[in-house]
Structure 1
Amino acid sequence: MTEAYPQIDPTTFDLIIVGTGLPESLIAAAASAAGKSVLHLDPNPFYGSHFASLGPDELSAFLSSSSFPPSSSSGEDPATVSLTTRPLYSNVEISSLAPETLEEHARKFNLDVAGPRVLFCADRAIDAILKWSTNHYLEFKAIDANFICVENGKLMRVPDSRSAIFKDKNLSLIEKNQLMKFLKIVQRHLDPDEDASSKVSQEDLESPFAEFLAKIKLPPKIKSIIMYSIAMADHDQDVEACKNILKTKDGIDRLALFQSSVGRFPNSPGALIYPSYGQGELPQAFCRRAAVKRCLYVLRMPVVALLIDEENGQYRGIRLASGQDLFSPKLILDPSFVFPSQAGSSPEEPVHVFSEKAVEAKVARGICITRSSLKPDISNLLVVYPPRSLYPEQDITVRVLQLGSTSAICPPGMFVLYLSALCNDATQGKKLLNTAISAIEVSQISERNAGVKNEDAEVEPPFIIWKAIFIQELSAGKYGSICSTPSPDGNLNYHDLVDAAEKLFHATYPDEAFFPETASPENADEDNCPEDDGPLEEA
């Protein structure tokens, strides 16, 4: 039976966007606010594309369908170029140890495709949400604690304020004083009223951050906390062959972001927050913002071909699976689409790559549904396993984000763990994640059996009841007449993604502001969206 597709009217737009991921949704909202006529399509039946939050069955189906290239539907028409997709995911492994429990609560899960990911309270994404009044469509929950793995696999809580440093029982008095001294150095450097002689020298700013921390004689434990749990370095910074050296300037900037995030919102005493109902709420919020400005949305609408001007070979429009042709001078595709070399560029209009970050690497992602929290009485927390904390050859940081039912992403009594690590290949990536998962399971068994004699110990149900591990390709965005957005990156935050979306928007519309500041969005009440009771009312 042939699927019935709706006819779209009008047929000509200033901009057509395919895919409703976060970068595409940001651009759609910005272009609509600039008065452009925008058509926003998605072949999926849900918003968010590679940034969506889905149930376990939906997630499994999405990863599987995106793991192999679809058959081409290229025709003989010389005025069209077949538009195909490439697999973004590979080595997908999904297992369920309690299928009946999962089936009973299936509708209560919102699992992020591109987790783990959080927002720093003072980062660009939050500034954009507040500036563009998108917070009317969102709620947020605080990440209650931040932990780092130290010696013997122990998870140590990361102190995020002066008072927390002095209350921390894991740090000696000497270590506390050393950490406070370092934070004062950073504070003086960032203070615009301080004399240049009291700031970090230009030579030190250009040096590796690890060398600067060693120069001021910080002990290994403090160095690890600063480098991997606050500055969020991905690679081992203490080896000569470090793949991505973090400079002191960038390290200090990241510390400044962390410090300015702590306590920015009264309902979030820490530095990190997470959107209720999953990160898929973020692109949906910007789509709703765009819809207020008359952006037209159509889901379940595959695009099968590009329309090409036979005289100059340039892009003219798209052909839908319905057979309808639509026209626009500009087209933006999500990262799963193959960028066609036959169209969209010419000697007069070359295709530019605006980001080259980490395109050689991949990111290993894992999702676990668990029966209990990693830490009693803490629902939402972040754990960092720095290089060499899991095994001697580990040279990549592994991050684990735990979220509970307070974030509306799982039923009460269950938790979701998101894991990620950059990797060169699937073998390395899976080893990193599986070793971290094993360490987590061992710590849970030890905690449950603490103080219980072997003969009295009961057989416990499995800690993990559902697990997915997969490898995601990383790709940079491109722009010309046809643009493509970057794939979800390996970062914990959204900074680079927001930056990439802004660059792509300015490449498409150089004379337009990337979303001018505005009052509350028009007709916001008509959307019947929840009011913001999260931490987006500044103190």
Structure 2
Amino acid sequence: MAETESYPPIDPTNFDLIVVGTGLPESIIAAAASAAGKTVLHLDHNPFYGSHYSSLTLQDLTSFLRSHSEIPKTNPPQSDDTETLDVNPRPLYSDVEISSYDDSLEEHSRKFNLDLAGPRVLFCADSAVNLLLKSSANQYVEFKNIDANYIGDGNGNLMNVPDSKSAVFKDKTMKYSEKNQLNSFFKLVQGHLEAVKSVDVAVDDEKIISDEDLESPFVVFMDKMKLPPKIKSIILYAIAMVDYDQDAGESCKDILKTKDGIDRLALYHSSVGRFPNALGALIYPIYGQGELPQAFCRRAAVKGCLYVLRMPVISVLLNKDNGNYKGVKLVSGQELTSDKLVMDPSFTITSSNSPSNVSKLARGICITNSALKPDISSCLVIYPPRSLYPDQATSIRVLQLGSSLAVSPSGKFVFYISVVCDNAIEGKKSLQAAIDDLFSLHSDETESKELKPTLLWSALYIQDLIEGSVGPVVMTPTPDGNLNYNDLLDATSKLFKKLYPDDEFFPETSNTDSSDKIEDDSEVVLDS
């Protein structure tokens, strides 16, 4: 009885919605439901916000990965009560491999804010930014610009990714003919987009890309435009952010159509210069990606959502008459009822079938003693398919962040690496190839022209990719393999619409309460 006494009772005991887990999808749904006037209880068994989308200290991240990679012990069967379904943890991580080459890092553990779901950035014009503005959650998070975007050739060379006409002509790694080809292609795409928007205005037919071309593979259209391999690679993998090798033909698992490629180019270019303090297309939240779910939790709390951390749910209650969902039972023994229930994907319910053939994502976190380039604090590096080794099937993305973003102590840099994969062996091979190309293990290695950053610590792991589902209980998706949150937000809004088809997904707000924001020349403050 002493164990349950440490859990305070929750009052009231009935809600419109109970949400279990404070990951980004759950936090957005809780905030949207609260904004729609629903009574919401938001629970998390963790002592922190963010769940699998959180930013953790070095020590906490190590503990989290290890605890969520173990086969969990199931709750004892409740054979005497047929109205309950056991809730059990589901390990989302496997093949966790943590290596430390510098014992002094442990002394600075709390100065790190390490993303579980990195690498992640926001495009200045993407859905996440628009949702932050629409929901007023932007009041609780600040950003900084990502300084540079590179594409790696596998030989230790990092080429700038030009994001505008002026950037193309300033680039010193491209030939004059290549600059003209790239600018001509950008001009064609821009002309097409303007023509599509100007439905009431006569347009030059030469500016419009045909329907046949729009439905064709983007790589085929670029071949038709006679773009060389270097330009194609920049557009496909460093701007459109494609995962799979588009030159693999029918064996490619996900071929990007021209119409979708144009949309991705439009997103990239419209992101450049949207905010005065963000010179490039990409921004990152100060203190880490874990600030995003916290921002929506704060917004939900303002609208009346009740929050309780360190509160595990052990079972789901069913209606005795019809078997429909009724409520939840907490570890304290207290029973709560609600009309609807949302749970994060790190749980399973005994009657539900676990997903089969789960896709995989390999993630890596590395800490070094220096940046890739002396004058660049934050940058994104893309390794296109086959750039690091012949059978590299997918793009490898690397994000470098420094202390200016409050994710590491001064003089240390954090690198996030990710790649989609079919299995752990393939995923770990890709991660290791990127690590070998970027870092050295010994600071006295001077054979290369430029000294590589020295690797001080690393965590490599495989994460399951699980989609959201709708049933008696709504299950949210795991972090996906994309660089931004667009697909994840689209899935989350659809889950909300399934829950509340008659309610708007965040009604428009005036967004005038921004007195607690700090503005200076280095911070990107979102403002509608």
If the length of structure 2 is used for normalisation, what is the TM-score?
0.93
Q: 2:105 is matched by which residue type in structure 1? A: L
1:329 aligned onto 2:333: no
Query: Does the alignment pair 1:438 with 2:439?
Result: no
> Which residue number in structure 1 is paired with residue 44 of structure 2?
42
State whether structure 2 residue 284 is matched by structure 1 residue 274. Answer: yes
Q: CA deviation at 1:448?
A: 5.3
1:535 lines up with 2:517 in the alignment: no
Task: Indicate yes or no: 2:411 matched with 1:409.
Answer: no
**Matched position secondary structure for 1:419:** strand
Please say if 1:93 is aligned against 2:97: yes
Whether contact under 8 Å (2:24, 2:50) holds in the other structure is yes
Is the 8 Å Cα contact of residues 209 and 248 (structure 1) preserved in structure 2?
A: yes
Residue in structure 1 matched with residue 221 of structure 2 by the alignment: 212
> Which letter maps to 2:216?
S
**Amino acid of the residue matched to residue 380 of structure 1?**
S
Counterpart contact for 2:440–2:454, Cα < 8 Å: no
Which residue matches 1:423? Answer: 421
Tell me how far 1:535 sits from its aligned partner: 1.7
Call closer, same or farther: CA 1:207–1:340 in 2, change over 3 Å. Answer: farther
Alpha-carbon distance in 2 for matches of 1:500, 1:532: 33
Post-superposition CA distance 1:319-357 (Å, at most 9, x none): 0000000001100000111155369xxxxxxxxx9xx9x
How far, CA to CA, are the matches of 1:232 and 1:132 in structure 2?
A: 27
CA distance in structure 1 between the aligned counterparts of 2:519 and 2:125, rounded to whole angstroms = 17
Aligned length: 515
Q: Does 1:511 align with 2:511?
A: no
- CA distance in 1: counterparts of 2:352 and 2:211, whole angstroms: 47
1:72 and 1:93 map into 2 onto residues whose CA distance is 25
Q: Is the 8 A contact 1:81 1:342 kept in 2?
A: no
- 2:259 matched to which residue of 1? 249
How far is 1:155 from its partner?
Answer: 0.9
Q: CA separation of 1:62/1:333 partners in 2, compared to 1, >3 Å: closer, same or farther?
A: same
**1:265 aligns with one of 275, 294, 307:** 275
CA contact (8 A) 1:266 1:538 kept: no
Structure 1 residue 383 displacement after superposition: 0.2
1:63-82 to 2 correspondences below 5 Å: 63-73=65-75, 74-76=77-79, 77-82=81-86
* Runs of at least 5 residues in structure 1 that lack an aligned partner in the other structure: 344-352, 453-459
Counterpart amino acid of 1:489?
Answer: D
- The CA deviation string for residues 44-96 of structure 1, in whole angstroms up to 9 with x for no partner, is 00000000000111011111111123212232211111111211000000111
Amino acid of the residue matched to residue 199 of structure 1? I
Aligned-pair CA distance for 1:142: 0.5
Alignment of 1:107-126 (within 5 A): 107-126=110-129
1:248-270: CA deviation from partner (whole Å, max 9, x where unpaired): 11111000000000011111100
SS of structure 2 residue aligned to 1:382: strand
Take 1:495 and 1:461, find their aligned partners in 2: how far apart are those partners? 34
CA distance in 2 between partners of 1:329 and 1:235 (Å):
42
Kept in 1, the 8 Å contact 2:216–2:258? The answer is yes
| Equivalent residue letter for 1:235 | Y
Write the letter of the residue equivalent to 1:133.
Answer: S
- Root-mean-square deviation (CA, aligned residues, Å) is 2.3
Could you tell me which amino acid in structure 2 is paired with residue 269 of structure 1?
L
What is the CA–CA distance in structure 1 between the aligned matches of 2:94 and 2:512, rounded to whole Å?
A: 40
Q: Separation in 2 of the partners of 1:22 and 1:326?
A: 23
Superposed CA offset, 1:378-425 (max 9, x none): 000000000011001111100000000000000111100000000000
Mean Cα displacement is larger for which, 188-197 or 119-128? 188-197
In the other structure, the counterpart of 1:19 is 21
Spell out the pairing of 1:313-324 with structure 2 (5 A cutoff). Answer: 313-324=323-334
Contact 1:236/1:387, CA 8 A, preserved across alignment: yes
Q: 2:288 matched to 1:284?
A: no
Per-residue CA distance 1:249-296 (angstroms, 9 max, x = gap)? 111100000000001111110000000000000000000000000100
**CA distance change for structure 1 residues 37 and 538 in 2, over 3 Å: closer, same or farther?**
closer
Distance, in Å, in 1 between the alignment partners of 2:386 and 2:236 is 14
Q: Does 1:499 align with 2:500?
A: no
Tell me which residue corresponds to 1:390. 388
* Alpha-carbon spacing, 1:248–1:447, altered in 2? closer, same or farther (3 Å): farther
Distance in 2 (CA, whole Å) between partners of 1:364 and 1:440 is 17
CA contact (8 A) 1:363 1:490 kept: yes
**Which of 72, 87, 103 lines up with 1:83 in the alignment?**
87
Structure 2 residue identity aligned to 1:69:
I
1:53-64 equivalences in 2 (<5 Å)? 53-64=55-66
**Distance apart, 1:195 and its partner CA:** 4.2
> How big is the shift at 1:130?
1.2
Distance 1:446-1:269 versus aligned 2 partners, 3 A rule: farther
- When residues 284 and 506 of structure 1 are mapped into structure 2, their CA distance, relative to the original with a 3 A threshold, is same
Structure 1 counterpart SS, 2:14: coil
Query: CA 1:359–1:176 in 2, change beyond 3 Å: closer, same or farther?
Result: farther
Structure 2 residue 154 is matched with structure 1 residue 146: no
8 Å Cα contact 2:42-2:305 kept in structure 1: yes
Give the Å deviation of 1:441.
1.8
